[in-house]
Structure 1
């Protein structure tokens, strides 16, 4: 594969390749502004790198993707489209977001975990109307109510998706994790936001005449200014949607995404995964356990994090306890209940 066009190369070492990303296609060009430059707007390192990618990642080159993975990731970067990543648990779907953010120096990964009760607004922002009402009532009891009543911005916090859509020069990385766990409506509710790259905050639109600029809290814990109750991106975020393949998504969502299906990791990838997190010695001592894990994965659903747990714990135990612990920790996930 010709690699000159690759922005994300899967080398694991941070670089400024994102600055070479060409302009977006006209239909994905966004003009939000003014540009936000606060902490977390792109360059702030992610404190979760060691936990997510491994403390020994430099020696292991764990996250060097296969050619088809590189192509899909870079297609999503070039086209400013979300990347829908499907695969069994433990195949490294969520890790891709952290690997891209680390290598391209795009700051902390914004993570939005999805459950059956998740609704779109939770990802965009939260407005604590009850707390505001209480504070207004308290302020109304004072002698100078108009001076002491707090502004509406104190009660609004942007969610991960809302923060990702702030106008920044470099894209943020957003992980929407396990979308297939969502209510049936959420994938459709996402369509307009993903297509338009913007959203409104009705609570701020209603006061825009008197308060055109409102300071609100972001998912990063920093303050930004929202103007006229609307947020529109400049650099469309790099969004990874993960799915364990437990349901089908509507065609309208699929056509807006670049799709990537991750296969179960092979022996080499499992060994480098162990090496990245636990070091060279653990990878050598766990070689037999890796082979046993691969054999079981042919007929059972097992996850790579179970293997990591087993190798870590059995490092401290002696036979036959070691084998018993491995059996305890690596249990099939598709066992009938």
Structure 2
């Protein structure tokens, strides 16, 4: 499968899928498909890294398989595990059906470590799929560094080794996207296997484009005011700067309240759409000189 014909094709199809990609993003996305290499997206939370993987899935008609990373993630949740309860029941059934001469353990072992008892998790699921698949490994920086070792075989050879069954290689390589908020440095081994793209907050012009795409009813004047205000908020030392999704939520909030001028009172009254921590509210009220609502 050819994921995209060219960078321009990637940009056009991603836009049709609701994602406005700049030249660097379109080019790197095209190359990830053409070279069949994983794509590592790094940048602040809320800049569209996860959404890019979803947009590739929508633009190409591929199914999305997502591994959400978190502290404590292990092989059983990322790759596969055995259905131990079902295996135990099979062993008990084999013992109960024996003729008093004992059970052939080798035969039982081969039986319980077979496909029937295998529980696939996202990495193995994506590798085994024959249909076009986008594999999203989301927020990989939240895992322990040991988990990166589990990823290396998948990222380099697109295969998974199961000791009891052997090596399972991909018949159709998935389009792999890893995202990281850069909360810790990823290993060089992981980075070496990937194409890399840093995604930052968009400039004002592109953010207005995004708002116009996602909230077409938004007045141009309000859009300009909103983008300027969000830009000022991102310059503050906040616990969580406003994401693009929160800019869109704010725009929809203003439409719902029929606010036609984003003055200080309107900002103070609707700040909860973009800032989700009390300390951030207090800092914004102070720095932007807003009246407390």
Asked if the contact 1:8–1:104 (Cα under 8 Å) also holds between the matched residues in 2, the reply is no
Q: Size of the alignment, in residue pairs? A: 260
2: CA distance, partners of 1:129 / 1:135: 10
Give the equivalent residue in structure 1 for 2:11.
10
Per-residue deviation, 1:171: 4.5
Per-residue deviation, 1:274: 3.0
State TM-score, norm by structure 1: 0.66
**Structure 2: gaps spanning 5 or more residues:** 99-110, 281-293
Q: After TM superposition, what 4+ stretches of structure 1 lie above 6 angstroms from structure 2? A: none
Give the equivalent residue in structure 1 for 2:160.
199
Write the mapping of 1:303-318 to structure 2, written as runs, cut at 5 A.
303-317=243-257
**Structure 1: gaps spanning 5 or more residues:** 14-56, 144-148, 206-228
RMSD: 3.5
Give the equivalent residue in structure 2 for 1:268.
205
- Structure 1 residues 324, 82: CA separation in 2 closer, same or farther (over 3 Å shift)? same
Report Cα offsets for 1:151-199 as digits up to 9, x if no partner: 953432322211221263x652111000010112112331123222212
- The answer to whether residue 283 in structure 2 is matched with residue 327 in structure 1 is no
Per-residue deviation, 1:121: 4.0
Give the equivalent residue in structure 1 for 2:285.
none
Identify the range of structure 1 (237-246 vs 185-194) with the bigger mean alpha-carbon deviation: 185-194
Higher relative contact order (CA 8 A, sep 6+): 1
1: CA distance, partners of 2:204 / 2:43: 17
1: CA distance, partners of 2:57 / 2:273: 31
Give the equivalent residue in structure 2 for 1:81.
37
Write the mapping of 1:31-50 to structure 2, written as runs, cut at 5 A.
none
Asked if the contact 1:110–1:174 (Cα under 8 Å) also holds between the matched residues in 2, the reply is yes
Q: Find the structure with the greater CA-based Rg.
A: 2
Give the equivalent residue in structure 2 for 1:63.
19
State TM-score, norm by structure 2: 0.75
